[in-house]
Amino acid sequence: MMKSMISSKNHLKIESTVMSIDSLFGSARRRNKINFAPYYQRNYVWDDDKASYFIESILLGTEIPPLVFFDTGSIIEVIDGRQRFETIKKFIDNDFSLTSGGLFFLKHLAKKRFTDLEMHIQDLVWDTKLRMIEFTIVNEPRLDERREDMIKKEIFRRYNSGITPLRTAEIEKAIYLADNPTSHFKTEFKENRQNYMTVLDLFFSAKDVELAEKDITLEKVLQKVRFLLIAQEMPIISSRNKQTLAKFYDYFADNVENLNELYLAFMKRVDILNTIRLSCVKNEISTTRLVSEFYL
Task: Name the percent of the chain lying above pLDDT 70.
Answer: 73
Which sequence spans correspond to the domains of the chain? 2-158, 168-295
Q: Residue 290 has what pLDDT?
A: 58
Q: Which of 219, 231, 131 is nearest to 177 (CA)?
A: 219
Do residues 59 and 173 touch, judged by C-beta distance below 8 A? Answer: no
Task: Name the percent of the chain lying above pLDDT 90.
Answer: 33
End-to-end CA gap in the chain: 63
How far is Cα of residue 24 from the mean position of the Cα atoms in its chain?
17
Q: What is the rounded distance in angstroms from the CA atom of residue 50 to the CA atom of residue 52? A: 5
Q: pTM score, two decimals?
A: 0.51
Strand partners, 133: 16, 68
Q: Residue 271 has what pLDDT?
A: 92
Kindly state the average pLDDT of the residues 58-83.
Answer: 83
| Average pLDDT of the residues of the chain | 79
Where does the pLDDT of residue 281 fall: very low under 50, low under 70, confident under 90, or very high at 90 and above? confident
